[in-house]
Amino acid sequence: MASDNSLKAGERVDLLYPSRRQIIQSKKTFSYSVDAILLAHFAKLPKSRHAKLLDLCAGNGAVTLLLADQTSAKLVGVEIQEKLVDMARRSASLNGLSDQVDFLQADLVDYSQQVPAGSVDCLTCNPPYFQSSKTRQNKLAAYAQARHEVTLDLASLLEAVSRLLKNKGLAYLVYRTDRLVELIDQSLTYSLVPKQVQLVYPKFNRPSKFFLVKLIKQGSKAGFQLDPPFYIMDDKSKYTDQMIQVLKGNG
């Protein structure tokens, strides 16, 4: 585990499954959760070391670190919160990934306008997906910014994604199921075609809370795939075999 001098006040080191990498977390910032694990499992990155890959709304780097197992290409995580970027960079160093993984502190909309348009092969994103006006925000600003559309709404996100991606480039997102129709509608507005969706359920016989989606820029509307449902826990509040296999790195 990390030595004490690699951590700042209030921080701890946790294991990041299924990779069992070390990740620095803090109660004062938003920690990774199961949606990050499932997004990294769902995404399929290009193998070429020349591919340009981004992880947007990277938080403390969980998805970025997990994706490093999929490719030899360089991965760049973009995150607006400075504290999270600092933690993510130190986590990359702890795992010996600093040469492959980097993190930038930037507003996503500004970033998308500063880099060459149509230059990204593939990206992932675990964005804030609660509408600020409709849900109660956490009192901690770091949590509110990670969960709510304080600085980034859905339209702005999708416009930035479309600008960044090459034609036929791929985007993998995790989002709230109660906003599925909205996401599909707005994605098409920005030439992002949903090609694959998987609904995720917290338990059997409970409504889906979030979903995973693959978007293709300027893709064909034919060939849409709805995956079998994914259940996190069974009716006894234990992880399902599906979830266990993901945590083991199988499937």
Task: Tell whether 227 is covered by a domain.
Answer: yes
Residue 185 lies in a domain: yes
In this predicted structure, what is the pLDDT of residue 66?
A: 97
The answer to whether position 106 is within a domain reads yes
Decide: 232 and 203 in contact? Cβ < 8 Å: yes
* Per-residue pLDDT at 6: 79
Residue 100, phi then psi, degrees to nearest 5:
-100, -30
53 belongs to a structural domain: yes
Q: What are the φ and ψ backbone dihedral angles of 71, each rounded to 5 degrees?
A: -150, 160
Number of domains in the chain: 1
Determine the structural domain holding residue 210 and report its residue range.
Answer: 32-129+147-248
Residue 209 belongs to a domain = yes
Output the pLDDT for position 133.
53
Residue 92 one-letter amino acid: A
Q: Tell whether 99 is covered by a domain.
A: yes
Residue with token string 């492959």: 100
Any idea what the CATH number is for the domain that residue 72 is in?
3.40.50.150
What is the mean pLDDT of each successive set of 10 residues along the chain, which is 251 residues long? 68 95 93 96 95 97 96 96 96 96 97 96 90 52 44 93 98 97 97 98 96 98 97 96 95 69
**Domain presence at residue 219:** yes
83 located within any domain: yes
pLDDT at residue 204 in the model: 94
The verdict on whether omega for the bond into residue 18 sits within 30 degrees of 0, i.e. cis, is yes
